[in-house]
């Protein structure tokens, strides 16, 4: 089963997208709907609220009087915490029940308005953010019947567009027509979400043909999301995680594959976190040469994972703290960044490697020569990881 996260500012069109995903076969777990469900008449949630806030939060028919509850619960932080302490665990429990009951192979879409605010984004292999500019959203909300000052107040209380962009693996632009956003959501589902689910199920990584593209300023943010995911999935076993390789060097053309190095204390730790990385979208690549030809004794061994998401090819190199290969991966971008001549030289080597039988192998001789030069530079400049 794949769980993806869906969010967007109020009025952006999140409900429209989640309805489209549902039509495509996704199971929608909607935070707003669940929060209402768990305090319906007859629930333990409503009983607990009455116990905490009194009978006068009820309407004559016994249903929750939301404004009355809000008046009491939003008085101060203590009352607010009391409310959250009752509702949040029930919502979490119900969410889990729904997730546990879906058939194998289902894609669950967790519709979470406050995905940024709750810090849950890194736990999803894919986060979809629906976006429209503020004025468009306000206009649409007014049309839906929300008073303007209310719409603006709610937007102010939510995360900023910039914060939402930072967690977005996919930014669905809903500036156009309703038909356009529905079409974009469908395409996303069939071209990216389903292949991602299948790749996670089978443990396949995405591979692309070697082709150099101009440096993309978005690579750093892509790498950061991968880093956040790896840290959330593997916890304290990850000593550090860094954006490395060509895509981390400003101004350098590169293959559109983001490299991230995950530093662990020992190769055994790399093996222990393999399952957690696979579950969050980065399956282990079995039998890479470096596993076989290198072991602990020469301290060049590593474990390699790849991305299951066809929309963001990536390599995750899991290496041991202090080993030469781990240090070199950190040194390499720093050295290239500081040495335009080396950068130009490397670009030539990459261009030539494109037509070689194996792109990675073809670059090896250059690396062998560059290694001592880079080490000498580190020595001379006092560079530290």
Which segments are annotated as binding site for ATP? 11-16
Residues 108-147 contacting ligand ADP, CB under 6 A: 140, 144
Angle at CA of residue 54, ends 50 and 55, nearest 5°: 80
Q: Applying CB under 6 A, which part among 7-15, 79-87, 195-203, 349-357 lies near ligand ADP?
A: 7-15
> 141: number of CA atoms within 13 Å, CB side?
22
Query: CB atoms < 10 A from the CB of 237, how many?
Result: 19
Strand 107-111 relative to strand 212-213, pairing? unpaired
Shortest reach from residue 182's CB to ligand ADP, in Å:
9
User: For residues 114 and 158, is the Cβ–Cβ distance under 8 A?
Assistant: yes
Query: CB atoms < 10 A from the CB of 178, how many?
Result: 10
Q: Applying CB under 6 A, which part among 11-19, 72-80, 206-214, 246-254 lies near ligand ADP?
A: 11-19
CA distance 288 to 255: 19
Q: Applying CB under 6 A, which part among 23-31, 175-183, 242-250, 296-304 lies near ligand ADP?
A: 175-183
Shortest reach from residue 66's CB to ligand ADP, in Å:
18
Chain position carrying tokens 């849950």: 120
If residue 126 lies in a helix (H) or strand (E), which one and from where to where? Answer: none
Please pick, from the candidates 181, 184, 238, 329, the single residue that binds ligand ADP as defined by CB under 6 A: 181
Query: CB atoms < 10 A from the CB of 104, how many?
Result: 6
Q: Applying CB under 6 A, which part among 3-11, 262-270, 285-293, 360-368 lies near ligand ADP?
A: 3-11
Please pick, from the candidates 101, 177, 202, 297, the single residue that binds ligand ADP as defined by CB under 6 A: 177
CA distance 155 to 133: 11
What does the radius of gyration of the chain's CA atoms come to, in whole angstroms?
A: 25
Binding-site residues sit at 11-16
Please pick, from the candidates 8, 26, 281, 306, the single residue that binds ligand ADP as defined by CB under 6 A: 8
Counting residues that bind ligand ADP (by CB under 6 A) gives 15
Residues 224-253 contacting ligand ADP, CB under 6 A: none
CA distance 193 to 107: 8
Binding to ligand ADP by CB under 6 A, coded x per residue (else -) over 35-74, reads ----------------------------------------
Chain position carrying tokens 């905490």: 52
Beta bridge mates, 264: 320
Shortest reach from residue 197's CB to ligand ADP, in Å:
24
Please pick, from the candidates 5, 6, 11, 253, the single residue that binds ligand ADP as defined by CB under 6 A: 11
Please pick, from the candidates 16, 35, 224, 290, the single residue that binds ligand ADP as defined by CB under 6 A: 16
State which residue, 59 or 178, has the beta carbon closest to ligand ADP.
Answer: 178
Residues 144-163 contacting ligand ADP, CB under 6 A: 144
Q: Applying CB under 6 A, which part among 100-108, 176-184, 271-279, 288-296 lies near ligand ADP?
A: 176-184
Q: Is 13 in the site for ligand ADP (CB under 6 A)?
A: yes
End-to-end CA distance of the chain: 38
> 253: number of CA atoms within 13 Å, CB side?
14
The dihedrals phi and psi of 78, each to the nearest 5 degrees, come to -65, -45
Shortest reach from residue 113's CB to ligand ADP, in Å:
8
CA distance 385 to 263: 12
State which residue, 9 or 283, has the beta carbon closest to ligand ADP.
Answer: 9
Would you tell me which residues interact with ligand ADP (CB under 6 A)? Answer: 8, 10-16, 140, 144, 174, 176-178, 181
């Amino acid at each position: 089963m794949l769980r993806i996260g869906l969010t967007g500012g109020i009025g952006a069109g999140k409900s429209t997208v989640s309805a489209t995903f549902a039509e495509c076969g996704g199971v929608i777990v909607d935070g707003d709907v669940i929060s209402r469900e768990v305090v319906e008449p007859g629930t333990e949630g409503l009983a607990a609220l009455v116990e905490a806030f009194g009978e006068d939060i009820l309407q004559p028919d016994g249903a929750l009087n939301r404004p009355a509850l809000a008046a009491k619960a939003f008085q101060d932080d203590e009352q607010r915490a009391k409310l959250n302490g009752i509702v949040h665990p029930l919502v979490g429990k119900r969410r889990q029940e729904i997730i546990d009951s879906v058939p194998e192979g289902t894609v669950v879409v967790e519709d979470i308005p406050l995905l940024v605010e709750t810090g849950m984004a890194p736990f999803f292999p894919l986060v979809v953010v629906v976006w429209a500019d503020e004025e468009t959203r306000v206009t649409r909300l007014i049309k839906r019947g929300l008073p303007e000052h209310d719409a603006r107040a709610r937007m102010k209380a939510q995360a900023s567009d910039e914060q939402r962009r930072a967690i977005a693996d996919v930014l669905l632009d809903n500036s156009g027509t309703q038909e356009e956003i529905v079409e974009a959501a469908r395409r996303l589902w069939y071209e990216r979400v389903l292949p991602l689910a299948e790749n996670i199920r089978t443990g396949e990584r995405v591979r692309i043909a070697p082709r150099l593209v101009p440096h993309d300023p978005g690579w750093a943010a892509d790498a950061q999301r991968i880093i956040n995911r790896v840290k959330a999935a593997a916890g304290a076993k990850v000593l550090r995680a860094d954006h490395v390789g060509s895509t981390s060097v400003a101004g350098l053309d590169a293959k559109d594959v983001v490299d991230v190095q995950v530093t662990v204390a020992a190769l055994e730790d790399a093996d222990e976190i393999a399952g957690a990385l696979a579950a969050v979208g980065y399956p282990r690549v079995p039998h890479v040469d470096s596993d076989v030809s290198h072991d602990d004794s020469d301290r060049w061994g590593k474990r390699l994972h790849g991305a299951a998401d066809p929309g963001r090819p990536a390599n995750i190199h899991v290496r041991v703290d202090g080993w030469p290969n781990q240090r070199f991966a950190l040194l390499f971008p720093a050295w290239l960044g500081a040495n335009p001549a080396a950068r130009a030289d490397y670009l030539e080597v990459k261009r030539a490697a494109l037509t070689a039988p194996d792109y990675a192998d073809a670059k090896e001789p250059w690396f062998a020569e560059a290694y001592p030069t880079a080490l000498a530079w580190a020595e001379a400049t006092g560079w530290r990881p």
